[in-house]
Every structure is written in C-alpha cells, then in structure tokens.
Chain A
C-alpha cells in the first residue's frame, strides 16, 4: 500500500503521515527515511530532537540525502519517507544535478522502496501556488517537484491533501 501525502508548510502533513505509518506498521519494523542534510548546528539540533521523538514511536531511522534507489531495508516493514521536497532539492543541486536525472532518481527511488516494504507513506510539499516569478533556478525546482508529484500520485494507491491537520483523499480511501 502506497500513500502519498501532500500539504503546505505547517499543514499537519507530517503528523498525519506518522499516524498512517504507525497504524499500518504494527508487528513489523518501521523505518523513517530522513532526507535533511545536517548542514549546520541548527540542522543537527533539529535532527537530534526529531530522532528522539521518533525513537519513542519505534521508528528506525535511515538517512538518505540522494540516491534513494540505493537504500536497502534490513527487513520488510513500513516506511515513512519525509520529505520529497528535501530529496528533490538534494538531487537537483547535488553533484549528479539536472532536472531529468533528479526526476529519475526520485521516481526510481520510490519504486525501489515500494518493492521492499509492506506499506509506504511519502510526504511531499505543495509549492506551486505562489506564482512563477522566482529568482535563479527556483522554477526548475518547482518544475521538478511538480513532475515528481504527478508521477507519484499516478502510482499511489491513495493520495491525500492535508489542510489544517485534516486529510482529504483525492485518490483512493484512507488506508487505515
């Protein structure tokens, strides 16, 4: 079962996605695919705090900044990937670079994860409603994330938009 969860900043999408992963992951390993790179002390502190929060919920953290297709789960279980927006930026601005390669890395990566787990929850960001007047290559990022979101929504069994903490399913029904 693959569920895609989209929402804006502070929409409550992470908390909802965590709930989904927990409810689908009873009696099996739960993995948290972490995508944020520890650039500085602030990032490291945030990551440490989130790890502590998740530890109580029984998540095993796997770090992945780029090359999601290379991730091998130790055993089948439930996976929560947070978030596609981070991963897209890492791929686009990373050493491999380029929109086309980045899109392939994201889509193949999710496909690979899906083949290894029982339930997959992917969190992504809605960033396409603020117009197109952006500096530099931000538009390339929007285009990449838009394409990845479309590809994943087409693949997903369930797809919902979270607003004010409330999920609304636009494809399939809530998996739990």
Chain B
C-alpha cells in the first residue's frame, strides 16, 4: 500500500491517479480511498484505530489522508480528539505502507520507500 498525505487542496488525488497509471472513475475508487482522516474520529481506542489502518491497507493500493493537525488546536473537545486520531491513523498507515509520499502544491515528496519513476 502507498500512503499519500499533504495539506488540503495540495493535489494528492491527482498524484494518486497518475501513480496508478491515469485511471479514473470507478476503477480509481476501487484502488484508492481518500479523506481517511475523517474515519479516524469514529474509532474509540487504539485497537480500533489499528484495525482501521489494517483494513485500509489490505483493501486499497493507495490510501490518502489530508493533514489536519496544523493551525490552532480547536476549542471543541470532539474536534480536538478527531484531529489527534487523524494524526495517529496517519502514523499507523505510514508504518504499514511500502511507500509514503507527501504532496505539497502538487509536487510529491518521498518520505519513505523507493521512488517509482
């Protein structure tokens, strides 16, 4: 599994499509999953988060998460917890991934693994 992360609107999905040979539509949706940071909030504990990471890594060749841990720490407790969980999920996914790429302004930065080009 390849894990792709980066800020909002940084071009993560476009990069993933390119990585998978230019596929789009249902074929892309089968191979890749995105906005997984939003799934982390539904986990009650570390074990559930780990199970989520395992499930995503097993079912998809590319997993995409938006970085949400920057800026001001939210006042709302649930939002705080969701951000924290999103960060932890990203770490778990990165640990399972063969390659980790951070996309910044559309430019891929390799954080783990070997370059594909």
Contacts and interface: CB of A to CB of B under 8 A. Distances in A.
A78 B43 CA distance: 52
B59 to A, nearest CB: 25
A128 B107 contact: no
B46 interface: no
Contacts of A129: 7-8, 67-71
Interface string B58-102: 000000001111111010000100010000000000000000000
Nearest to B106: A150
Interface string B22-39: 000000000000000000
Interface of B is mostly: loop
Contacts of A154: 106
A79 interface: no
Interface of B: 6-11, 66-72, 74, 79, 83, 104-107, 109
Interface of A: 4, 6, 8, 126-133, 142-143, 145-147, 149-150, 152-154, 159, 161, 170-171
Given A8-B70, A133-B74, A142-B8, 12 more contacts: A6-B105, A127-B7, A128-B6, A128-B9, A130-B68, A130-B70, A130-B72, A131-B74, A131-B83, A132-B8, A132-B68, A143-B9
